[in-house]
Structure 1
C-alpha cells in the first residue's frame, strides 16, 4: 500500500504552495494526503498570564484552526477525491516531520516558513531533513516549468540509483520526459567521458521495465557540479538528486552542493535517500 504524502503546514505562502504540490502528488499516486502542523510552546510567545482578550489557549487554537482550514481548502481544490487527514503535533518541526516520514511515500515542505517553522528549510535544518527523512523529500524551490522534463543527477552510487528510480517513476506519473545528467570534471579526458557514458547507460537501463514508459535522454556535462545542476534546473519541472554520491557528488546533501541546490535551484528539488542508509 502506498504511504501518504505528508506536507508541513504553517500558513506561510511557501507552505501553502507546498500544500498545493503535495495534493497534486497525492492525486497522481492515488495516495492519502496528510497535513501536519508542528509547534514548540516556548516559540509561540503565548502570554503566561491570561490575556484580557481571552485565554491564551483560545487564541492559539483559533490561529491553528485558521491555518489548517486554509490548508485543507487548498488541498481540496487540488485533489477533491483524495483521502485527507490533518494533525497538530507539539514538538520541533524537524523532529515531527522526520517522524512523519517513517510511513510516508513523500514529504513535501516549503523553502521558507514563518512563526513556528521559521527557516525550517534554510541552512542546517534543511540538510538534516534531506539527509535523515525516511522517504524522499520534495523542497519547494523556484517555479516548475510546465511541460518541462524531470531532471535527475546520476553518478553511479547507490543513492544516485535510488534517485534515478524515483525520477523515472515521477516522470511516468506526470507524463513528462526525463533527462539524466552526469557532471564530470573534464569530458575531454577519455576516462571521464567513458565513465560518464557508462553511468548514463546504466541509468537508462533502469527504466526498461513494465509500466514505465518515459521518453528519456542523457546529458554529459562538465563541472562544477552545483552550477551545472542549477543551470539544468532552469528548464525543468523537477530536479531529483541522491542524498549522497560518489566523485563529483560526494557529500551531495551534506555539503556545498546541497546548500546551493536548496537555495538556488530554479525548480522544486527532490532529495532521495537509498533505503540501505536508514538507521
Structure 2
C-alpha cells in the first residue's frame, strides 16, 4: 500500500511556520507504551510540531502450495490493519502518557521503509520508537525494525526502552566533529533536563607508532581538539543550568563510547550516522548500529545529510 494512503495529516508539517511533526511508531502492544509516549512528549517539547502516531502492519505472506504461492485475500490484511488501528487507539487511551486526540494512522507494508518514507514526506523532526528486538537472527539478516528504520531514515531516530525516563538527566554524545555528530549534540542538548548534564565524548585513534611523524601528527591532533570542542559548544542551546562537559578517550569508537556511557550511567547516547554499503554493515557495522544493539539506555541517532 502506498505511504500516502490512510494519511489525513501528511501535509500539516508543510505549512509555513509549522515545525515538523514528531512521529511515534506504535504497533498497539501495551509493553513499554508509557516510555514510548513519554519520549514522544519529550521530543514534542524539545523540537515542536504536532505528535502523530503511526503503526505499520506487515502484509500476511503468501502460503506455498507446491510450486505455487497462494495469494492472501486482500480483505484479510485490511482487517488486520483495522484491528491494529483499534489496538493503537486502545493503548493510547489506557496509557497515562497517551492522549486520545493524537492522530493515528496504520499502513500496510515494510515497517522500516514506510516509517522512513512517512517521516520524510511529513518533514518529521524525529521518529520515536522502541529500542527493538535483540535476537541474533534479527541481527544477522538486518530485520530488527529499529535498526532497519535507522538505515533507511533521513531524519533523526530516538529509540527508547521501557526504562527511559521522562527526561534524560545525563546525555552522552559521540562526537567525531562530523556534521551529523554536531547535529546529534545540538538535538541531545535540547532533550536534557534543566540542571542536567551533556557530555561530548571524542574518541581519538588508538593506533600509535614510535615514529617522529606519528608523534608530531598526534600532537597536532591533540592541539586541534580544544578549539574544535569550543566551536561545537557555541552551536548548542541547552536548557538553563545544563552542564556541558568535554571528554577525550582513545580506542575503538563504539566500544569506548559505550564503556564511557555505562560508567557514567547516562540516560541517553546520541550519535551521528554515516551511510555504509550493505557489505560494510555486514562485516564491520557502523558505530550507530553497535551502540543501538548494545546500549542500556535510550539512543538518539542523527543521519548525515
1:16-55 matched pairs, under 5 angstroms? 17-43=35-61
Report if aligned partners of 2:204, 2:251 keep a CA contact under 8 Å in 1. Answer: yes
Larger Rg: 2
Match of 1:7 in 2: 24
What does the per-residue CA deviation read over 1:5-27, in whole Å, with 9 as the maximum and x for residues that have no partner?
11111134256642342133324
Q: Following the alignment from structure 2 to structure 1, what is the Cα–Cα distance between the partners of residues 153 and 191?
A: 18
Q: 1:179-194 alignment to 2 at 5 Å? A: 179-186=199-206, 189-194=218-223
Could you say which residue in structure 1 is the equivalent of 2:97?
Answer: 78
Is 1:154 aligned to 2:175, yes or no? yes
**Contact 2:190–2:238 at 8 Å: present in 1 too?**
no
Alignment equivalent of 2:232, drawn from 190, 203, 208: 203
Give the TM-score, by structure 2 length.
0.69
Does the 8 A contact of 2:131 with 2:298 survive in 1?
A: no
- Matched ranges for 1:62-101 at <5 A: 63-73=83-93, 77-78=96-97, 80=99, 84-101=102-119
2:196 to 172, 176, 180: 176
TM-score of the superposition, structure 1-length normalised? 0.74
Alpha-carbon distance between aligned partners in 1 of 2:124 and 2:181, rounded to the nearest angstrom? 21
Q: 2:272 aligns with which of 233, 242, 245?
A: 242
Assess if the C-alpha contact under 8 Å between 2:271 and 2:288 holds in 1.
no
Give the length in aligned residue pairs: 256
Contact 2:22 2:128 in 1 (8 A): yes
In the alignment, structure 1 residue 272 sits paired with structure 2 residue 293: no
Q: In structure 2, how many angstroms separate the alpha carbons of the residues matched to 1:178 and 1:142?
A: 22
Partner Cα separation in structure 2 for residue 132 and residue 163 of structure 1? 17
How large is the RMSD of aligned CA atoms in angstroms?
3.8
Hey, what's the Cα distance between the residues in 1 that align with 2:33 and 2:88? 11
Alignment correspondent of 1:52: none
Show CA shifts across 1:32-72 (max 9, x none).
21111112322499x958xxxxx857963663144212332
Alignment CA distance shift 1:111-1:168 (3 Å):
closer
- SS for the counterpart of 1:155 is coil
Structure 1 residue 168, shift from structure 2 partner: 2.2
Q: Which whole-Å CA distance do the structure 2 matches of 1:28 and 1:261 have between them?
A: 23
Greater CA deviation, 173-182 or 213-222?
173-182
Q: Would you say the 8 A contact 1:31–1:83 is kept in 2?
A: no
Q: Provide closer, same or farther for how the CA distance between residues 227 and 141 of structure 1 changes in structure 2, counting only shifts above 3 A.
A: farther
Kindly indicate whether residue 291 of structure 2 is the aligned counterpart of residue 261 of structure 1: yes
Q: How far apart are 1:184 and its partner, in Å?
A: 0.8
- With over 3 angstroms needed to count, the CA separation of the structure-2 counterparts of 1:95 and 1:155, relative to structure 1, is same
Q: Taking structure 1 as reference, are residues 61 and 182 closer, same or farther at Cα in structure 2, changes over 3 Å only?
A: closer
Provide the rounded CA distance (Å) in 2 between the counterparts of 1:177 and 1:210: 9
Provide closer, same or farther for how the CA distance between residues 224 and 74 of structure 1 changes in structure 2, counting only shifts above 3 A: farther
